[in-house]
Every structure is written in C-alpha cells, then in structure tokens.
Chain A
Amino acid sequence: MKERKNVYQLPAGDKTLEWYAKAVLEMKKRPTTDPTSWNYQAAMHGFYAPSPFWQGSAPLPSAADQARFWNQCQHGSWYFLPWHRMYLAYFEQIVGATIVALGGPADWALPYWNYSETTPHARDMPPAFVSPAAPTNGLWMAGRASNSIPARYVTLGALNTIPYTGDGRTSPLGFGGPESVFSHGGSPHGQLESLPHDMVHVAIGGAMGDPRTAGLDPIFWLHHANIDRLWQVWLNMGAHRVNPVKKAWLDFKFEFHDKNRPPVVMTSKDVLDTRTVLTGYTYQGVPAGAPVVAHAMAAAKVANVAEGIQLNERVDASTTLDVVAATNKPNVLSSAKTLAHLDLPGAPRTRLMNFAAFTKEALVPSKPAMSILHFEHITGKGVPPIHDVYINTVENDGNKEAHYAGSLSFFGVEESSVANVHQSGSGQHYALDVTALMDSLKSLPNWNAQRLDISIEPSKPMDANTSVTIGRISLYSE
C-alpha cells in the first residue's frame, strides 16, 4: 500500500521529487507514440496540435488510437472525480516503473500539493518545480503565468456540499458534478471542480490553464492528487456525503494504458476505495474508509426519517428550482468590469415549491430559499483570467467583500466553444450558490426587490488574444 504524501511535509533528504524529476525527463525521451511517454500521458487528458506546448510532439499515434485514448478528460460531469482518479493511478504506476528502471525505489508514490493549508508558503508552488528554471529540471515548465495562487481561489467551501450529483436547476449543486453522458453539452462544473480545481489550473496558467495542455506540466499531477484527496476528505465528513449509486456512474468504462502499454479498462466502481486501486494507496493524514455506496445511501435515507430532517433536504435532493430571472443578451467580458443586471419578479418569494409544501406547517423551515446564479453558454478564446463576481456593489462603500459571490475560471473555455467528439461546442456552464449572499443582501439599504446588479471583474487584465462571452446569466430559486 502506497502513501501519497503532502509535498510540503516530505522529510529532509527525501528523494520523492528528485526521482519524479528523473522519471519525467526519462518519459520525455520516449516517442509520443509510446503510451508510457510524457506526451502520450498528457495527451490522454487533452491534446491540441496547434498549441505551442505541443510543438515537436510528432510523430503521433494513429488517428484511431488518438480518438480512443486521447482527449478523454471529463469536465463538467459526474465522471470528473473517478476519471481523474483512474488517470492518476496509471500515471503513478508508469512513473513508478520508470523510476525502478532507473535504479530507484519500488515504493514511489505521487505527492500531493495542499495549497489550501494555512502554512506560510502553502499557496506557492513547491520550489523544486520553480527552480532551476531550465529544461534540465524535469519539474520545471516554461510559460507558467504565476507560481502562487491567491487565497480566494483555494477555499474549500465545496466540502460543505452534501449531494455528490446536482446541476443547480433540477437539484441543488453537487460536489462531484451533474449527471451526464460521456459526450455532453455544457453542464455546470461540480463544486470541487469549480473551486479549487479550475482556479488552480487558471491561476498557474500557461500549459496548466488549458485542459488540452495541462498534463504537460509536472505540477498538474500533484494538483490532481490533492483534488483526489479532497474527494476522500469529503466522504470522511459523512452526514449523507455519499457517492452516486446509479449504474450509469458505477459501470461506465474508461480506457487507459498500464505500465506494460496494453489498453486496460476501469470503471468508477473500481476506484471507490483508494486502497484497492491497482496496488492501493492512501493519503497522508486522511483515513481511507470503506467504499461508501448503496448501504450508506440507504442508511442515510433511514437517518433522514429518523432524525426528522426536512423532507426537502433528503440526499436525493428532490427539489427542483425555477428560473427567476435571466439576461436578455450575451455579455462580452473585457479588461474593465462587466455590468449585467437581472430583473427580479418583485416581492421576495416565500412559498416553497417543493416537498415541504406537503408537510405540516411546523416542518417548513424558515431558512432562506436556495438561490443559484448560473453563467451559461460561455464561449471564448485563449486562457482568459479568472473573473470575480459581485452582486449589488456600492461604489466606495469599503465593504466590497460582503458582495462577493464567487469566481469564474473559464478553465477549458476555448475547447468548449467548438464542437468535437466529446462535447457539443455549446460553451461552458458555471453555477454559484448565492443563497447566503442573497439573504444578507436583502437586509442592506440598497436592496431592490426588482433588480439584481451583477459585476464581473477580471482578476488581472485580459490579453489581446483572449476573449469571453457569457451567453446567459440566470438566477434559479426555490
């Protein structure tokens, strides 16, 4: 059983990163046609021939092989977590075998980068990845925009999300993403995927800023090990946090290559317990529980009834939301802030259109109605900067943060803007849960029951060769 360790807690003299660097250089020597090469592994996540990061990668595998194994990464989907877990497991196996071949230890495990820690340098990329800044350093990567992630983009509010699955329209937002088929048209990114996952990608930028090149940066794998770890952390928090139980999720087959190169098949069911994924692994400081599946789901339902929890808070999230307002024209973002507004239907809605309506009055909670702000059909070019979203800000009131709704990363927006074999080109979709914010805004003097002002502000200026258009902004509420 391997232990994936915190990269910032490796003991002095530890050789984990040194061997990783050696293996990266070795894998880079292999031709792109070799499934165990650095290029091939990265291309399984995404490949885009015109990108400068892919210069010199030819000769490439056959078109049939590319169609079958490349560009497989699952984003905006409930397969996001299991697919990346499988991807990392085989990558770790291949790197491990390479290290053994180079005369290294047999127990190499991928470390993780926990940028959400409060320790002083947690948000800085581990130094070994930054210097020496030369191609001889296997961990260094040309073209990164930043080596440090702003604090706001590594927060872990996602862990408070109870359901795994959800789209913010037919159900509350989900931790792991909306139910989807393999190829789909712009479903919202899951909560963990949106923050911190997408944010870290775009904040680092360069190859990391685009799913079609991200796997080329050695830091990608430590970032995703952390996301994979957070999945287990979330499960361990309990209180009805459970994985999907639908067959469509459990049994969907994905293809990879193992260290011996032949194709191998894995399903979500195979990766529910990290201790049984290939030779098994755990994360330092995170107990690996038994797979949380049907039993836990059933138990959670029983618990709901026994505890008298409001019926509308069941784990299967029977609530459907209704659209309250939507913009009438697309918003094109620029380096200045973009202002949009929604026409609200007047007096605040009080009646809950859901299960609660069928229960005795005493059961109807007096908590605020759920409100989700959707950004739909987002298309664009390049790697645009992260944008921060504020609602009903007042000029110079000195309390802007009280109006902060969340951020938009646009990770993968260019790829999502054109149809390909995996998605329809209808653009990206992000959703922010603004329930608490809306509730607090209602008590402010500038609250207007007929109008919501939305300000979308770039975290840094937009490059000339990037663009973003948001097709529709909408507010969904109970």
Chain B
Amino acid sequence: MSLTADVNPFSIVTAKLRNLFTKYPEWRTWGLSLLAWAFLLYGLFNMPGEASHAGRSIYCLPGGGASLQAHGANGAAAEGTFAGILKTVFDGLKQWNIMVIAMMFPLLNEPIRHVTFSVRRKDRTRGILGFLLGYVTVWMAVGLLFMLLPLFIDMLVGKQNQLITALIKASGFLLAAALTWQPARLVKMTKCAQTMPIRINAPQLYTDTIMYGLKMGAACFNMCWAPMVALMLAHHNFFLMWEVTLVLLCERYILPHTSRLPGYAWGIIAFALYSIEMWG
C-alpha cells in the first residue's frame, strides 16, 4: 500500500499554493501595483479630461496635460490661498504615489525577496511594509520636485509654439534613449539588486528595512529617473504610463542586461509623441 495514498489531495493543493505564495513574496507588491492600475483605469472611465475642477492632479490625469492650463488660468485664482496650494500638492502627491506604486512596485522582486527571507516568518509583512515605506519616501521627495517641472517649462515656453511643445514632449524619451547607451547604466542596474544586512529584532528590524527601502529607492530613481521625467514632460496619460511600464518590466526581467532594446523603445516613443503633436 502506498503511504502517500492517505494524504488528502485538497491539503496538498492548498499546501502547494501556500508554498507558491511563500516562495514568491513579491505577490504583495504586484498585487498593490494591480490595485493602483485598477484605480487609474477607473479614473480613465469616470473622470473625463476636463480641466475645470480646481485642485485637480497635475500628474497622471487621463486627460493628459489639460490640468496644467487650469493651473495657469482660472486655477491660480481658485488656489491662491495657502490651503489651496496645500491641497494641490497633496492631491498631486497622491496621484504621484499611485503612479509609483503602479509602475515601480513590480520592479522590486529581488529586494522584496531579500527582506522576506532575511526576517523571521512572523515579521515578513512588517519587514516588507518598512521597506516599502522607505522606498516610497524617496519617490515622494522626488515627486515634489517633479511636480514643479511641467509648470516651470510651461512658464518658460508657454503654449504658442507647436514645434517647441512637440520637441519638449519628445525630449524626455530622447534623453532616456540616449542614457541607455551610457556605460554606467549597467552598474546602475546591478545596484537595483543590491542587498544589505537586516537585523531581525525590533527596533532594528524596522530601522534596517526602512533604510534598505531608502537605499533601494535611491538606486531605483538613479536607474529610472529619465523615463519618469519623460512622462512628466510628455504630460503623460494612462496609455503612455502603460507602455513605459512594459518597457521597464522587459528591461528588468526579460532582456539580457546588456540589451539596448529599451533604448530603441524610448526612441520610438519619442518619435511617436513628436509626430502626434506635430501632425496628429
């Protein structure tokens, strides 16, 4: 008689599933990313791209850069107060964080595994939360700076010249493409896989995971800032974000690390943006 015959097959299936979740702890970050995408998709269908609403996000609006005009014209009057500005910043950061969660969290498989398997099983969720807190903090700081970028460029060149607008929209992705050929890029990429010792007892469990998150946020920004700036400059929309995310995912997980394909992808996006603006 086979000894294994007595094992409840249902238990084996659940145990296997549980094992899968244990072995691939990045299901958490991928899950959060999916939620963020769902939120953005919901926004796409439920918030028409009108710019009349004061205090609307200046980032990932489905309507692209329309809200910038709101800020430039009637928006300024509506938000002239300190509270108004705060609200703009707050809403902007909220949108920015959703964008970071949607686009960047799926790139974190290696650090998430490092944290998960460095701490006690009972502390895994705590450790991952600490890490994500540190990670998001870096991107938030960057987000504040980025928030000013489109406004600043708007102020500088205004809306008149179609050619300049087209060039600006395309320039970020051209920059991203050019940076793909930068020799230091490969080292930047390996730094996205760096790890550090994590102590397993509180309070160091928290300080170490947050520190690691900060470190990885910086490494990640160092690697991915150009496409993110490009998104800002292009007054990006849902579909552009989606394309950028796809390229980043391929670069991180599928293509050989020396591949220049992401560079060509950025170039094509730049050309497409330019064409749409000029002749579209």
User: Footprint of B on A, CB under 8 Å?
Assistant: 63, 67-68, 169-170, 181-186, 253, 305-306, 308, 311, 318, 320, 322-323, 325-326, 328, 330, 353, 355, 358-360, 362-363, 376-377, 419-426, 471-472, 474
Contact = CB atoms under 8 A, between A and B. Distances in A.
Contacts of A422: 190
A67 B256 CA distance: 13
A125 to B, nearest CB: 35
Nearest to B120: A323
B194 interface: yes
B81 interface: no
23 contacts: A170-B117, A181-B193, A181-B257, A184-B110, A184-B193, A185-B194, A186-B195, A311-B4, A320-B23, A328-B204, A353-B121, A355-B15, A358-B8, A359-B4, A359-B6, A362-B3, A377-B195, A419-B190, A420-B190, A421-B257, A424-B190, A472-B199, A474-B200
Contacts, number: 107
Interface residues of B, number: 40
Interface string B113-124: 010011111000
Nearest to B3: A308
Given A308-B2, A377-B197, A170 B190 contact: no
Contacts of A184: 110, 193
A323 B119 contact: yes
B190 A376 contact: no
A328 B186 contact: no
A182 B186 contact: no
Contacts of A182: 256-257
A270 B218 CA distance: 40
A126 to B, nearest CB: 38
B276 interface: no
Contact of B2 (A305, A326, A355, A359): A305
A185 B204 CA distance: 22
A419 B257 contact: no
A425 B120 contact: no
B83 interface: no
B200 A424 contact: no
Contacts of A362: 3
Given A306-B2, A419-B194, A326 B7 contact: no
A419 B195 contact: no
A421 B19 contact: no
A185 B256 contact: no
A326 B119 CA distance: 9
A471 B22 CA distance: 25
A253 B258 contact: no
**Shortest Cβ-Cβ A-B pairs, 3 listed:** A308-B3, A424-B194, A472-B197
Nearest to A345: B120
Contacts of A420: 187, 190
Contacts of B183: 63, 67
A67 B258 contact: yes
Nearest to B8: A358
Contacts of A472: 197-199
Nearest to A420: B187
Given A169-B117, A377-B195, A419 B187 contact: yes
A205 B7 CA distance: 53
B73 to A, nearest CB: 48
B2 to A, nearest CB: 6
B15 A358 contact: yes
